[in-house]
Amino acid sequence: MKSTTTRYETTDTLGKSPAALVVKVYNGAIANLTKAYDDLENNRTGSVYDTLEKARKFIVHLHTTLDMEQGGDIALKLSQMYVFIINGINTVQATRDKELLKNMIDILNNIREAWNTLAEDNKKGKSPADAETECPARGLSISI
């Protein structure tokens, strides 16, 4: 039997647009990276490795579900960013580099905001073509 929380999460997920689901995955990755940062800041290193592993699972999910054919150049840039984040997680696990961790959180927050705007536009009934000039992901440039 599913718990109440699991049923709520399932219902919440089923009612979301694809863009809103992407935002939800970003939220999970960012929450875990932020927890790892906070744990490192406060010398609570016991759970850092496991927390970073949880974040990695979210990023791997984002990476493996990219549609490279339909997504074109933006999908390629996102793929490169996800590889950077995954490699960064490996580095943080080995070195406890808080600055790298903060940088990864900032990158993901910025991209999440673009997805969040797209999700909000979908909720308002705007199509991507209608919002083309407003979409923050348009012309996305990621330098890694």
Looking at residue 139, its pLDDT comes to 41
CB 48 within 8 A of CB 36: yes
Nearest to 71 by CA among 23, 18, 15: 18
Query: pLDDT band at residue 135, thresholds of 50, 70 and 90?
Result: very low
Higher pLDDT, residue 127 or 34: 34
User: pLDDT above 70 covers what percent of the chain?
Assistant: 76
Domains of the chain: 22-123 (1.20.120.340)
Query: At residue 136, does pLDDT exceed 50?
Result: no
User: pLDDT above 90 covers what percent of the chain?
Assistant: 71
Predicted model pTM: 0.79
CB 37 within 8 A of CB 105: yes
What is the tens place of the pLDDT at every residue in 72-130?
A: 999 999 999 999 999 999 999 999 999 999 999 999 999 999 999 999 988 777 655 44
The interaxial angle of helices 68-95 and 98-123, nearest 10 deg, is 150
Higher pLDDT, residue 20 or 7: 20
Cα separation of 112 and 114, whole Å?
5
Give the type of residue at 121.
D
Looking at residue 15, its pLDDT comes to 64
Cα separation of 139 and 63, whole Å?
19
